[in-house]
Amino acid sequence: MPVTARVPLGDPDGRSRWTVDHDGRGYLVIDLGDRLVVTDALCPHKQTPLLDGVIRDGCLVCPGHWYAFDLATGGCRTARDTDLRLHPVVE
């Protein structure tokens, strides 16, 4: 059964991304303007926090080792078998 959590729309500090903890796990919420993307808060490669990653060319780039994750699919453009988990968003 999927886990469901309420996430506030918009960060209170006006940032375009923020983290949410739910049931012992951290999630990263990214507001792309036309949609929200929710991922795990940590990079699957070395567990680096993704909050300060760079968004470029439709990807979230990890600040630790520069792995680039496609924000539409979660696929890693840098290394095989290192996909970022994307979580469904229901508005």
Q: Give me the numbers of helices (H) and strands (E) for the chain, helices first please.
A: 0, 7
The full length of the chain comes to 91
Q: What is the DSSP letter of 53?
A: P
Which tokens go with 84? 């970022």
CA dist 80 and 4 (Å) reads 29
The letter for the amino acid at 70 is D
Q: What is the pTM of this model?
A: 0.84
CB 84 within 8 A of CB 60: yes
* One pLDDT digit (tens) per residue for the chain, 91 residues: 455 666 666 655 667 888 988 889 999 999 998 889 999 999 999 999 999 999 999 999 999 999 999 999 999 999 988 999 999 988 7
